[in-house]
Amino acid sequence: MTHTKNPIALLFPGQGSQVVGMGRDLFEKHSVARLTFEEADDVLGYKLSRLCFEGPEEQLRLTEITQPAILTVSVAALRVLDMRIPKPSYVAGHSLGEYSAHVASGTITFADAVRTVRNRGKYMQEAVPVGVGAMAAILGMAPDKVASVCHEAAHGEVCEPANINSPEQIVISGSTAAVERAAKLADERGAKRAKLLPVSAPFHCSLMKPAQDRLESDLAALKLQTPVYPVACNVDAAFVTDESRSRDTLVRQVTGSVKWDQCMRLLIAHGVQTFVEVGPGKVLCGLMRQIDRSRTCFNVGDEASLAKASEHLAAVA
């Protein structure tokens, strides 16, 4: 990688981007990707690679499998891409993806990240019994209006904005009845759409406090390094450039909302023209179109997208 006069930011997807078959193409064609999957299999003590490539889908959807699976596909794609494109100026990841971003920045080793996100998934799942919590996507409603809908619908229960994804899309999280009330209220107040999401737990709200406490002691035990590239962190929508702040923001992220829209605007304000979504799916490129259509966003998750992105990025270097 070489430095570029046109700043590039690497973006890493979070939960929801998983799909059976992800990563297989890179695994078959690149030894560095193959080694990445083998390392994850060794660390976890089961064939994560097989679940990524063959499913079954319901197993791949279990949070404690989804999280290391997406991280592994993202890091495999990153390592293949590494040889082919200029150095990024910044990195960012959506929720779970922030761990992939820290691996890219050298803050945390891949093996430690795989172990940590497996536990993170497990702790999040165990924090709230199934059915007690819910999440809903509110489309086409301003953030302040969504916040007041959450406040009014809470009735003493938890109901909070969890992911501020773009000006068009905010996900709310909390107690099932409160989230259902908020979705109904958002509908009545003119949201384009309010729909409950098929998730197994209410992520990024205060119900996740037990998970946050357990993860805090795991992260405290890890040796982190100074990030090579500034990481735009979810919880503060600010750059993290040292290890203690990296640890703190990863801890607070469990109950804090993902300020994705603000993170992307921070990167844009720092002159980033080109974004590369590294890992499965194109969710983050889709959000970028809602945030700022004038920016270029490529995804790299397989051989075809890798070729396309490499060609373009070689030209902007």
DSSP state of 206: G
Beta bridge partners of 139: 169, 193
What are 197-217's pLDDT values in tens digits?
A: 988 889 999 999 999 999 999
Identified catalytic residue from 17, 74, 95, 166: 95
The structure tokens listed for 146 are 């969504």
CA distance 75 to 103: 8
Report the distance separating Cα 95 and Cα 243, nearest Å.
18
Looking at residue 292, what is its pLDDT?
A: 97
- Residue 262 in this model has a pLDDT that exceeds 70: yes
* Position 284 pLDDT exceeds 80: yes
CATH class of 8-127+207-316: alpha beta
Q: What is the pLDDT of residues 19-36, one digit of tens each?
A: 999 999 999 999 999 999
Write down the pLDDT at residue 317. Answer: 62
95 is catalytic: yes
Q: How far apart are CA 89 and CA 82, in angstroms?
A: 13
Q: Which residue has the higher pLDDT, 209 or 168?
A: 209
Percentage of the chain surpassing pLDDT 70?
Answer: 98
Position 84 pLDDT exceeds 60 = yes
Report the b/e string of 75-104 with b at 16+ CB within 10 A: bbbbbbbeeebbebbbbbbbbbbbbbbbbb
Share of the chain above pLDDT 90, in %: 91
Pick the CATH number of 138-199 from 3.30.70.250, 3.40.50.10490, 3.40.50.300, 3.30.390.50: 3.30.70.250
Give the start-to-end residue ranges of the domains of the chain: 8-127+207-316, 138-199
- Whole-model pTM: value is 0.96
- 38: CB partners within 8 A, 6+ apart: 49
Annotation says 244 is catalytic: no
As a whole number, the mean pLDDT across the chain is 95
142 pLDDT higher than 90:
yes
pLDDT of residue 315: 77
Give the pLDDT mean for 114-127.
Answer: 96
The whole-number pLDDT of residue 130 equals: 84
**Which strands form 133-139's sheet, in the order they lie side by side?**
159-166, 169-175, 133-139, 193-196
Q: Does residue 1 have a pLDDT over 50?
A: no
What element of type H or E holds 128?
none
Q: Is the pLDDT of residue 2 over 90?
A: no
Q: Are 89 and 229 in contact (CB under 8 A)?
A: yes
User: What is the rounded average pLDDT of the residues 157-163?
Assistant: 97
Catalytic residue among 204, 257, 305, 310: 204
pLDDT at res. 3: 46
Q: Where do the H-state alpha helices sit in 134-259?
A: 143-154, 176-188, 209-221, 243-252
Same fold flag, 8-127+207-316 and 138-199:
no
Q: How far apart are CA 222 and CA 243, in angstroms?
A: 10
Nearest to 104 by CA among 81, 126, 127: 81
